[in-house]
């Protein structure tokens, strides 16, 4: 559901995460999107060429579903043009897919669609890399993960801890500054909700920062975007701020030097993101693959029929 500028980038990020999760398993990836998202002619042609329809997805089935974030200006997701179709996808997946993993806005969407929980706006965009703690090391997704780790966030809205807990969801990772990062359904697998971005690569926040400055120059947002928190090397902040001030003075986004700024990025989150996704893929495989007699969850009945379909 990402906008045109991030469509293929986000696709590659998730494909790369899944592809690196296990070097032995064979994965089949089936990208699809929902109607109601405004697309350029080039982006729509790309989707028409490489993506499948939701009807095709339903016909063949999935073992797992990843839903990306999106870039929308409104806080109330039910007002968006794509909400009804996204809700239909979520409701189908809730009944037919072993595990659904949501990133950022899609976490807010699933909470709205399945639990009627509305997100609330933040005073300022939460933007940067934040320190989190694992709250439960016994769950499938968090086994073997460092008890403290970093994760990127980029959002203007939030779902509160109490909103997750109201629906018996487990809070697995949380930050005092960024709030809940990772929550799952009670069984640890059926629904995986990230409020942050486990898929982000090294320069994702940098490109989003540049985009937001461009939005400010074009009058699409009213205030200058904040410098990404915890993203750049501390000792380089003065030089970085000087460069950004020059960009604002010139009022020309082409003076934003990505190559210069990228050398100061502290990449402190990708290893953890890969580890969590690896745990997720392994957990799905235990339920849907050959190892059906060693379920990872106590409430999984190994005598149940197993759909060995496509991820």
Domain match, 87 and 181 both: yes
Question: How do residues 275-290 score in pLDDT, each as one tens digit?
Answer: 999 999 999 988 887 4
From the number of C-beta atoms within 10 Å of its C-beta (0-12, 13-18, 19+), residue 45 rates as: exposed
Question: How do residues 100-117 score in pLDDT, each as one tens digit?
Answer: 999 999 999 999 999 999
What CATH number is associated with residue 62?
3.40.50.880
Which tokens belong to 106? 């899609």
Q: Is the pLDDT of residue 308 over 50?
A: no
Residue 161 resides in a domain: yes
Question: How do residues 182-216 score in pLDDT, each as one tens digit?
Answer: 999 999 999 999 999 999 999 999 999 999 999 99
Question: How do residues 115-153 score in pLDDT, each as one tens digit?
Answer: 999 999 999 999 999 999 999 999 999 999 999 999 999
Handedness of CA 156, 80, 194, 273 (dihedral sign): negative
As a whole-number percent, the residues of the chain with pLDDT over 70 amount to 93
pTM: 0.89
Q: Choose the catalytic residue: 104, 108, 153, 208.
A: 104
Question: How do residues 52-83 score in pLDDT, each as one tens digit?
Answer: 999 999 999 999 999 999 888 889 999 999 99
Query: What is the reported pLDDT for 304?
Result: 38
Residue 102 annotated in active site: no
Instruction: Say how many domains are in the chain.
Output: 2
Residue 119 resides in a domain: yes
Domain match, 165 and 251 both: no
Q: Choose the catalytic residue: 132, 153, 181, 197.
A: 197
Domain match, 18 and 157 both: yes
Which tokens belong to 85? 């179709």
Please give the average per-residue pLDDT across 205-233, as a whole number: 96
Residue 197 annotated in active site: yes
Task: Kindly give the residue spans of alpha helices, DSSP state H, lying in 144-194.
Answer: 161-165
Backbone angles phi, psi at 136, to 5 degrees: -145, 105
List residues bridging with 229 in a β-sheet: 128
Alpha-carbon span 194 to 168, nearest angstrom? 16
Domain match, 221 and 195 both: no
Alpha-carbon span 147 to 12, nearest angstrom? 28
Domain match, 194 and 46 both: yes
The DSSP H or E segment spanning 276 is helix 270-288
Alpha-carbon span 152 to 156, nearest angstrom? 13
Range(s) of the domain holding residue 111:
4-200+269-288
Whether residue 216 contacts residue 226, with contact meaning beta carbons closer than 8 Å, is answered with: no
Closest to 15 measured CA to CA, from 204, 281, 289, 288: 281
Residue 311 resides in a domain: no
Q: Is the pLDDT of residue 6 over 80?
A: yes
Residue 308 resides in a domain: no
Domain match, 106 and 236 both: no
Residue 244 resides in a domain: yes
Domain match, 157 and 257 both: no
DSSP 173: E
Domain match, 34 and 64 both: yes
Query: What is the reported pLDDT for 20?
Result: 86
Residue 104 annotated in active site: yes
Domain match, 153 and 244 both: no
Closest to 194 measured CA to CA, from 158, 225, 234: 158
Domain match, 172 and 225 both: no
């Amino acid at each position: 559901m990402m906008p045109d500028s991030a469509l293929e980038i986000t696709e590659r990020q998730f494909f790369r995460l899944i592809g690196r999760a296990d070097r032995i398993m064979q994965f089949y990836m089936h990208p699809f999107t929902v109607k109601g998202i405004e697309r350029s002619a080039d982006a729509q042609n790309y989707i028409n060429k490489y993506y499948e329809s939701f009807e095709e997805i339903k016909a063949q089935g999935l073992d797992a579903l990843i839903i990306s974030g999106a870039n929308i200006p409104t806080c109330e997701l039910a007002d968006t043009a794509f909400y009804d179709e996204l809700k239909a996808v979520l409701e189908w997946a809730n009944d037919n897919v072993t595990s659904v993993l949501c990133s950022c806005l899609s976490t807010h969407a699933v909470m709205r669609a399945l639990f009627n929980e509305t997100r609330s706006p933040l005073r300022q965009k939460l933007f940067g890399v934040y320190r989190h703690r694992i709250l439960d090391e016994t769950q499938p997704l968090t086994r073997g993960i460092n008890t403290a780790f970093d994760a990127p966030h980029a959002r203007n809205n939030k779902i509160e801890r109490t909103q997750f807990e109201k629906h018996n969801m487990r809070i697995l990772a949380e930050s005092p500054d960024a709030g809940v990062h990772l929550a799952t359904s009670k069984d640890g697998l059926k629904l995986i909700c990230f409020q942050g971005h486990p898929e982000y690569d090294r320069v994702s926040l940098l490109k989003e920062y540049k985009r937001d400055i461009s939005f400010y120059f074009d009058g699409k947002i009213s205030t200058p975007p904040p410098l990404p928190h915890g993203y750049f090397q501390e000792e380089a902040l003065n030089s970085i701020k000087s460069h950004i001030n020059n960009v604002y003075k010139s009022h020309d986004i082409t003076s934003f030097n990505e190559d210069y700024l990228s050398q100061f990025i502290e990449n402190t989150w990708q290893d953890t993101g890969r580890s969590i996704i690896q745990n997720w893929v392994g957990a799905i495989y235990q339920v849907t693959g050959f190892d059906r007699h060693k379920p990872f969850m106590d409430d999984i009945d190994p005598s149940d029929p197993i759909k060995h379909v496509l991820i």
